[in-house]
């Protein structure tokens, strides 16, 4: 999360593939061989930390999605 905050603080957009790559580098350092940075993991990570791209943020704002679910159920 520290890496993400540093990137955003200087105005760099951080994409999902970059978050997944950073997570993979971290788990190698931690020695966790079974970790898979899947799309589902990325969604949960973003949701847990309140990280959404502009489109998703707009959709939440106008009520297309309700908080806590991917499909607004």
Give CA–CA dist 44/52, Å, rounded. 11
The total of structural domains in the chain comes to 1
Residue 41 lies in a domain: yes
Residue 23 lies in a domain: yes
Give me the DSSP letters along 11-61: T----HHHHHHHHHHHHHHHT-TT----HHHHHHHHHHHT---HHHHHHHH
Residue 57 lies in a domain: no
Residue 71 lies in a domain: no
More confident residue, 25 or 12: 25
Whole-structure pTM value: 0.65
CATH number for the domain harbouring residue 22? 1.10.10.60
**40 falls in which pLDDT band (50, 70, 90)?**
very high
Residue 36 lies in a domain: yes
Mean pLDDT (whole number) for 21-44: 90
* % pLDDT > 90, the chain: 30
Q: Which domain holds residue 42?
A: 1-49
């Amino acid at each position: 999360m520290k890496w993400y905050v540093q990137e955003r603080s200087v105005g760099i957009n951080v994409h999902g593939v970059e978050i997944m790559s950073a997570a993979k580098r971290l788990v190698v350092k931690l020695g966790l061989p079974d970790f898979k940075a899947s799309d589902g993991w990325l969604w949960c990570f973003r949701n847990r930390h309140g990280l959404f791209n502009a489109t998703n943020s707009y959709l939440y704002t106008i009520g297309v999605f309700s908080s806590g679910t991917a499909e607004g159920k």
